Structure 1
C-alpha cells in the first residue's frame, strides 16, 4: 500500500497544480470577458459588424446568395453558419439574420428575407423553416472583393474552414446602421445615420486629413432612423459625434386632420426608433380608459401597406395641440436616446466620436485597396507574361507545333519548347494548352489588344501602390460609386433645440361642480351633485362628523392643515368620486400621514396668485402669517411643512382673509387683541413668533383675523356658544396675556375650544354655522346662536370640538389693512410681558376682567 501511496502522491505533485480560487476566478473571468467583448457583443469599427453578423453575410456570399439570385431557406443558411463558422445555437444565428433584414431596425438592411420577418408591433419572425433569404444589394458592397485577399482570414473553430476577421466594407457600415450590444463592463448604443451624409464626411476626411469635428458635423447632421420621426437637440448630437456620448430626444411625427368644424383627429405617421407600435397604441388607449385624458374619443391603428398610421379621434371642442403635448409627455411618442459609441478599435473597446470612427474606416480602406491592388497586380503581371509568350509563339508557330508533335506527352512538350524557344514554364503551359482555333489572325490581334490593356492596368495598379494620393483618390471614387448606386434620402427631421413640454394637469379636467366632504376622523369623498340630492343621508362612521362639506369646482384645491404643523395639498379632481352615502377614502390612502396626525382645518383655494395671507397658530402661542402663494406646489405626494414646531407643540388654529386685528383666545379663557401689522410674514419652513403670554398650564385654543366692528362666537368644552364683541376688547401689544373672557368654575369649568368671527354682513345673511362635538355635527344658522342673558351662553352640543361660521356670499366692506412694518425678531424677543393682574395692599391678587378697559402696570 505504501508504494501505491507514493506513486499517487507523485502523480498528484506532477499533474495537479495548487492555485488560489480567486486567482483562477480572476484569470478565467478575464478571458471570458475578453472573448465576449471582442468576439460577441461589440461591433468592429472597420466594418460595423459583430462576429455573428459577419459570419452570416460571409456564409451567404459563399453560398452564392446574391441580391439578383434566388432565395434559399433560412434554416439552410443558419445551418451553414452554425456548422462552419459559428458554433452556437441556431436561434441566435436566425435572430441576428432576422434583425439584419428588418427595415424598421436597420437603416440599410443587409439581408433580403421572404416571409414573415417580424413587425414593428413586436411580432416575432416565422420559424426559419418557413422563411427564405438572400443578400441585399447593400450587403454585397460589404463583401465586394473579399476573394481578392483584401482582408485577413483565420481558421474556423475546427480548423477545417477559413473565415474573415473583417469584411472589406465599401461604405462605413458602423455609422450607417448603428449598433447595440452589452458585454462585460462595456455596452454600445450607436444610432443609424444617413448613408450619403456619412460618405460625404468620409470624402471630406480624405480631402482634408486635419478636418475638425465641427466641419464633420456639416456633413453628418445627426442620426437618421429607419422609422423617421423628429430628433431634437443639436447640442447633444454635437457632443455625441465629438465625444461618443450624448443625449437627444426622438419624437413622433404627428399632424391634425379636421373631422368637422369643431372636431379634430390627431394622426401619427412616424414613431420613435425602437418603440413598439402595438405597445404605444395600448399605452395611449390606457390614458383614455383611466380618464387621464378625457378628450380622446377613440384610438385606431390604421397601418397598412401604404405606411404607418395611428388615428386618434378627439371629442368636439378638444384642444388638439394640448393633447399632442400631453401624449408626448405621457407616452412613448417622445423618448430619450443616449449615445454610447463604443466599438472595437485595434482589438480594444474604445468610446469614439465620428472623427475617430471615420479615420479607422479610412485606414481599413487603405489596407483593403492596397491588398486588392497587390492581388490584381500579381494576376495582371502573370497574365502579361503569358500573353508575351503567346505573342512570341505566333512568329514561330509552325516550329512550335512541330516540336510538340515530336514530343511524347504534355510534360515532354513543355520541356522541349522551353529548351528550344526559351519560354518560361508558365508560357509553355499556356502554349501547350492553347486551342488551335486561337491561332487565327483575329485572336492574335486580341492578344495584342490584351497586352495593351494589361500594360495600362499594371501601370494603374503600380501607381496606386506607390502613390498615396492616387490610393485615396481610388477610395474616394469607390465611395462615390456606392453613393450613386445606393441612393438614401434622409428620413428623420432634425430640430436644433429640445422643446420643453409643460403640462398643467388642470387642463385635462372638465370644469364642473361637485360636492366634497371631509370628516374629523380623516375620511375624504367627492360626489356628484345628483348623488347628493338622491341620497337621503350621508355615509359616516360611528361617532364621526363632517369637518368640511361644500360644493366646489373640480379645478379648486383644498389645503388640509394638520395638528403636526403640516398641510396636505389636495386638488379636488384628485379625490376619487364616490356615492354620497359611501364612507369615502381615508386620508392616509391618499397621502401618508403620521400616527396621531389629525386634520384641524380645511381651506378652499381657487386662485393661489391673489394677495392673501394665512394665519397659523400653535398651542404654545407661536404665530405667523404666510403668503397664500407659498402653499402652491407641483409635487404633493406627501404632507408638506406649513410651520416649524418645537417639541410637544401642535398647530391648533388656521385662519385666512387678512383683516386689521388678530384675536387670540386661550384655553382658560384669556383673550388678546393686537394689530395685524405687528405679526411678521414668514415662509413655510419657519417657526412663528410669540403671540400671547400664557400662564402655566394654559395654551392657545384659537386665533383669527377680525375687524373692530365684528362680533365673535366661541365654543366651550361643555358645548356652550358664547358671543362677544371685538370692539369691547382692549388692544394690547403682541406677547401679552390679555383679559379674561369667561369666569372659571372650579368643578367642570368651561374651556375654550374654538371660535369664529361674525361680520355685520354674515348676520344680515344669517349664514350657516357648523358646530362639532366629539360624536356629532350640528348645522344651524347665526340667528339660532342668540341666547338669553347668561354669561356662559347657550348650550348647543354635548361637548365642544369645532366651530365654523360660513363666510357671507356678498362682498364685505373691509377696512383696508395698514401697510405692515417689518418686525425684527430681536425686538419681538425683547417685548415686555405685562401680567394682567393687580395686587392689593392685603397682598391679594385680582384678575382683570374684559370690563377693565385700561392697562395697569
Structure 2
C-alpha cells in the first residue's frame, strides 16, 4: 500500500502527464496512475459557490476538485500556524503569548491596577473572553492563576488575593472566590502603552482594538521564561534574575559585539523562583550559545547530625516545576518498597517559613550515599531541557542569548523612538497654542475689539486669522481663552511654560537624532526598574554536573572476598570474622561441596576494581560491589555467571586496585617459574570477552599477580622449600601480549607456590598443609639474579606436609588462614614465632586429619595503620586494608 507522500507524488506526476497527453497505464498494476489520481479527488463546495465540473460532478452540483493530500496539507498548515503564532509561542519582544498579553491589557483597561482594590477574578476572565480572547474561561483563569504564583513566575505579574494554588500541586479556588489586580511589575510591561509606542490590531469581532505587543520595559522573556508546545515545535525558556538580566542588557547596549562568556559575567545562568542548584555551566553555555541546552537541577539539601549518631537530610528547596506533594509520595513509596532501607522516617516540615522535608536516617546509614540514591530515584534531581524558541516578526526561531537581547533592544529603541515622537508632537502642538496666546496677549485690545464687533464665532475666527496670521487651532484656543488668563501672572506662566516646552522639543529632537542618547535612556530606565524590583539570586550555580553512577549509590566499605577452587565467589563484611589467638580452632566461614576449597581470600574496598586472571592468560574486570553479597555460610555465586569464561577456563589469580598508575607495574609469575612485568595503565580498559594478560607455554599456568613499584624486591618460593629474591629491575617492562622471562628455576617434580613483594622490615611467612608455619626476616635471604633455584626457607617433614602457602607479613599484621573445608582462623602475626631459614616452624592452625591449608590473606589492624601513616609507608590495596573490630560472637558462631 502506498504512503500518503507517494500517493501525492504519483498524483502530481499524473496531472503533469495528462497535460502533455502522454499518460500511460501502469505496467504490471491492476490500477493505472490515472485511476489512482482520479480516486484521490474529493468533492468539496467552493468558497464562492461557483459550479465547477469535477470527477463526480453532475448538472447543478457545486463541487471543487482537490487532491486529498494537498487539501490535508494546506488545512493542517493553517491550523499549525494558528497554534504557533496565536497560542503556544511567546513574542521575543515582550515575552508574552497572546492570552497573557490580553489578560494584562484587559486588566489595565478595566482599571484593575496596583493602586486600586482587588477585583473578582471572574470579572477579569469575563472581560478577557468577551473582548479579546474568545476561548474557554477555565483556560484564561488558569493562565491568570499562573501569572500570580510566586513559585511559577520569577517576577509575578498578577497580584492575587485568595487561594491561587500551592507548590504542593493544590489547584486554585474557583474564579468566583478569588480576587486579583495587576502587580506593580506588570505596570512596567504596560508603561507608555498610551503613547503610540506599539501597533494595535482589531479584536476578534473588530469592535475593539488590542495591542500586537506590549512596550515591555524590562526583558520579560528571559526574566519569567516561557514554556509551550506548538505543532512540531516546543519552547522551554528558563526564568532569570531581573537585576542580572538588566545588567546583561546594558552590557549588550554598550557593546553589541560582546561575547556570550562576557555576558555570563553579568547573567551567569537561570534563576528559578523555587531556588535549587544548577549543576555545571556547560549546559548553560550551550543554551546561551545555540539556543538549546540541558541543565541538571538539584534540590538544596543539607545533612544535619542528630543524637545517637543518627543523621537527617533536610530538603529546603526543590527543583523548578516539581510537585512537592508527588515528591513526598514518591519518597514514601521508595521507603515502603525497601528501595531506600537506610531511611527511618520522613517528615513534612512545611510551614509559613519554608517547605522543608526532613528525612531521618538509620544509625549506620551514610548520608551522602542516601542522598545520591535520592538524586537517582526521585525528583530531587531533574533535567531541564532548554529550547529558546520565540516568535521573531511572526516567525518561530531558536535564539541564542545575544539574539534575544538584540531583538529586545531593537524593540526598546522603537518604543523610545515612538514615545519620543509622540511627546514631541504633543509638545509642538502645545507650543503652537501658546504662541497664539502670546500674540493675543500682545494685542489684547485689538483682539477684544475684533471679537466684540463680530456677529458670530466663525466671523471672529476668520478676522483674527486674517489679521494676525494665526492657525485655526490657535484661533479656536484664543476664542476659548478665559478672561483670567489676561492677568500679568498668567502671562508669566504662559511664557514660562512655552520656554520649558521649547527645551523639551529640543531634547526630543536630540533623542531622535542621537542613537547614543537613545541607548542611555534605555539603560537609565532599566536601572530604575532594577532598583525598584530587583531581588537577590535564589538558584545556586555549582560545579560540573556529574552523572549519578551506580558507584555513588554504594557505600564504600571494606569487605572480605572469597573465591573457591570450583569458581564460587562472594563478598561479606570483614566484621564477620573475629580475632583469635594462635592455635585457635576458627569458625566456619564457607559451606562448600565435596572436593571444593577456598583458593583466593583477600580484603578490598567495595569501590575497587577486581582483575580476574584466568588460566587462559586473559584478564577480566569487575567492581567489587558487582560481586554478589552472601552470608558467612553461603557458597557464593559461580564466576561463570559473572564473567564470559570459555569452556575449561578457570580463574587462577585475582587482584584488586582503585587506580592504574603508569609508573607502577603488575608482576606475573607462573607455576613453571616464568615472570613478566607490565605497566598497570595497560589494564585500565575493559572488554566483554576479556583482554590478553600473558602468553603461557603449554602445560604452564598463572599462579600469582602482584603490584610492583620501581626499586622493589621480588621473592618467589617453590614447593621444594626454596626461596629466591631479586630486584624488579631484573625484568624489563613488557606489553600485555607477551610470555615473559625465567624468574625461578624449579625441579621437574616441584612448582612455584607464589610470588610476593619483599618490603623492607617485613618477614616471609610460610605454612605447610597441616598448619605448621613460621616467619623469617627478609634480611636473612640474600639477593640473587633472577632465574636461580634460591635458598632453603623451611625444613619439611612428612608429619607437617608439603609447603602450601607463602606470604610477606609485618609484625603488626593479622593473617586470615582458610582451609580446604572452609575453616577460617584470624590471628596476629606477632603470635607466630620468628625463626631462621632452615627451621621446621610451629603449629599455627589446628588442621583436621582430612583437611589442609589452602589460602592466607593479610590484613592490618588499626594500630598498624596508624604506625604506617606515621612512617609514610604506602598501604597495599589488596592485602593491607584496615579491619574493623567487632564484638564477641556467641557459641553458635563457633564451628
| TM-score, normalised with respect to structure 2 | 0.60
2:111 is aligned to: 64
Q: Give the deviation of 1:273 after TM superposition.
A: 3.8
CA contact (8 A) 2:768 2:805 kept: yes
Answer with 104-113 or 216-225: which moved more.
Answer: 216-225
Once the two structures are superposed, residues 762-815 of structure 1 have per-residue CA deviations (whole angstroms, 9 ceiling, x without a partner) of xxx99764379xxxxxxxx999898xxxxxxxxx89xxxxx982338899xxxx
Q: Give the deviation of 1:141 after TM superposition.
A: 0.9
CA contact (8 A) 1:71 1:133 kept: yes
2:226 is aligned to: 179
Match of 2:461 among 418, 426, 441: 418
In the aligned structure 1, how far is the partner of 2:434 from the partner of 2:96? Answer: 42
Q: Give the deviation of 1:61 after TM superposition.
A: 1.9
Q: Give the deviation of 1:33 after TM superposition.
A: 4.9
In the aligned structure 2, how far is the partner of 1:6 from the partner of 1:188? Answer: 44
Match of 2:514 among 456, 468, 472: 468
Q: Give the deviation of 1:168 after TM superposition.
A: 0.7
The answer to whether structure 1 residue 148 and structure 2 residue 168 are counterparts is no
1:358 is aligned to: 405
1:807 is aligned to: 856
Q: How does 1:116-127 map to 2 (within 5 A)?
A: 116-127=163-174
Q: CA 1:568/1:380 → structure 2, altered by over 3 Å: closer, same or farther?
A: closer
Q: How does 1:381-392 map to 2 (within 5 A)?
A: 381-383=428-430, 392=440
CA contact (8 A) 1:265 1:312 kept: yes
2:530 is aligned to: 483
Match of 2:141 among 90, 94, 111: 94
Q: CA 1:332/1:384 → structure 2, altered by over 3 Å: closer, same or farther?
A: same
**Secondary structure of 2:419's partner?**
helix
CA contact (8 A) 1:328 1:334 kept: yes
Once the two structures are superposed, residues 509-548 of structure 1 have per-residue CA deviations (whole angstroms, 9 ceiling, x without a partner) of 485878979795969686999999xxx9999999997878
1:719 is aligned to: none
CA contact (8 A) 2:121 2:179 kept: yes
In the aligned structure 1, how far is the partner of 2:310 from the partner of 2:592? Answer: 47
The answer to whether structure 1 residue 81 and structure 2 residue 128 are counterparts is yes
2:237 is aligned to: 190
CA contact (8 A) 2:427 2:504 kept: no
Q: How does 1:133-532 map to 2 (within 5 A)?
A: 133-184=180-231, 186-207=233-254, 216-231=263-278, 241=288, 244=291, 250=297, 252-253=299-300, 259=306, 267-278=314-325, 298-313=345-360, 339-383=386-430, 392=440, 396=447, 400=451, 414-422=457-465, 438-440=482-484, 449=493, 452-453=496-497, 456-457=500-501, 460-461=504-505, 463-465=507-509, 466-469=512-515, 470-493=517-540, 498=544, 505=551, 509=555
| TM-score, normalised with respect to structure 1 | 0.63
**Secondary structure of 1:69's partner?**
coil
The answer to whether structure 1 residue 660 and structure 2 residue 699 are counterparts is no
CA contact (8 A) 2:596 2:820 kept: no
Once the two structures are superposed, residues 366-423 of structure 1 have per-residue CA deviations (whole angstroms, 9 ceiling, x without a partner) of 22223223334444444555666678497656875786xx7xxxxxx55344345448
Answer with 169-178 or 374-383: which moved more.
Answer: 374-383
Once the two structures are superposed, residues 332-364 of structure 1 have per-residue CA deviations (whole angstroms, 9 ceiling, x without a partner) of 656665654343333334444444333322221
CA contact (8 A) 1:188 1:340 kept: yes
**Secondary structure of 1:660's partner?**
strand
CA contact (8 A) 2:421 2:508 kept: no
In the aligned structure 2, how far is the partner of 1:486 from the partner of 1:453? Answer: 34
Match of 1:109 among 156, 166, 170: 156
Match of 1:17 among 65, 68, 73: 65
CA contact (8 A) 1:624 1:687 kept: no
**Secondary structure of 2:820's partner?**
strand
CA contact (8 A) 2:598 2:819 kept: no
Q: Give the deviation of 1:139 after TM superposition.
A: 0.8
Q: CA 1:513/1:192 → structure 2, altered by over 3 Å: closer, same or farther?
A: closer
Q: Give the deviation of 1:150 after TM superposition.
A: 1.4
Q: CA 1:686/1:279 → structure 2, altered by over 3 Å: closer, same or farther?
A: farther
In the aligned structure 2, how far is the partner of 1:766 from the partner of 1:199? Answer: 68
Q: CA 1:479/1:294 → structure 2, altered by over 3 Å: closer, same or farther?
A: same
1:721 is aligned to: none
Q: CA 1:484/1:595 → structure 2, altered by over 3 Å: closer, same or farther?
A: same
CA contact (8 A) 1:624 1:680 kept: no
CA contact (8 A) 2:559 2:604 kept: yes
Q: Give the deviation of 1:711 after TM superposition.
A: 11
Structure 2 unaligned residues grouped into runs of 5+: 1-50, 579-586, 707-713, 721-725, 743-750, 757-763, 770-785, 789-801, 809-814, 823-843, 861-895
The answer to whether structure 1 residue 770 and structure 2 residue 820 are counterparts is yes
CA contact (8 A) 1:106 1:226 kept: yes
Answer with 513-522 or 353-362: which moved more.
Answer: 513-522
Q: Give the deviation of 1:80 after TM superposition.
A: 3.4
Q: CA 1:456/1:810 → structure 2, altered by over 3 Å: closer, same or farther?
A: closer
Q: CA 1:363/1:548 → structure 2, altered by over 3 Å: closer, same or farther?
A: same
CA contact (8 A) 2:567 2:651 kept: no
Q: CA 1:516/1:238 → structure 2, altered by over 3 Å: closer, same or farther?
A: closer
CA contact (8 A) 1:662 1:706 kept: no
Once the two structures are superposed, residues 466-494 of structure 1 have per-residue CA deviations (whole angstroms, 9 ceiling, x without a partner) of 42354444434433432343243333455
Structure 1 unaligned residues grouped into runs of 5+: 407-412, 665-674, 692-701, 714-731, 735-754, 773-780, 787-795, 798-802, 812-857
Q: Give the deviation of 1:283 after TM superposition.
A: 6.5
In the aligned structure 1, how far is the partner of 2:817 from the partner of 2:268? Answer: 70
**Secondary structure of 1:119's partner?**
coil
**Secondary structure of 1:303's partner?**
strand
Once the two structures are superposed, residues 402-451 of structure 1 have per-residue CA deviations (whole angstroms, 9 ceiling, x without a partner) of 86xx7xxxxxx55344345448665677688x6x9x54458996587367
Q: How does 1:738-753 map to 2 (within 5 A)?
A: none
Q: Give the deviation of 1:66 after TM superposition.
A: 1.0
Q: CA 1:374/1:441 → structure 2, altered by over 3 Å: closer, same or farther?
A: closer
In the aligned structure 2, how far is the partner of 1:282 from the partner of 1:52? Answer: 34
CA contact (8 A) 2:560 2:572 kept: yes
CA contact (8 A) 2:561 2:570 kept: no
CA contact (8 A) 1:653 1:703 kept: no
In the aligned structure 1, how far is the partner of 2:857 from the partner of 2:531? Answer: 82
In the aligned structure 1, how far is the partner of 2:853 from the partner of 2:135? Answer: 78
In the aligned structure 2, how far is the partner of 1:264 from the partner of 1:766? Answer: 35
CA contact (8 A) 2:766 2:803 kept: no
Q: Give the deviation of 1:35 after TM superposition.
A: 4.2
Q: CA 1:559/1:288 → structure 2, altered by over 3 Å: closer, same or farther?
A: farther
In the aligned structure 2, how far is the partner of 1:463 from the partner of 1:257? Answer: 62
In the aligned structure 2, how far is the partner of 1:531 from the partner of 1:712? Answer: 23
CA contact (8 A) 1:615 1:704 kept: no
Answer with 341-350 or 539-548: which moved more.
Answer: 539-548
In the aligned structure 2, how far is the partner of 1:506 from the partner of 1:363? Answer: 49
1:571 is aligned to: 624
Q: CA 1:208/1:442 → structure 2, altered by over 3 Å: closer, same or farther?
A: farther
Once the two structures are superposed, residues 118-168 of structure 1 have per-residue CA deviations (whole angstroms, 9 ceiling, x without a partner) of 333344444444433221111111011222221112233443332222111
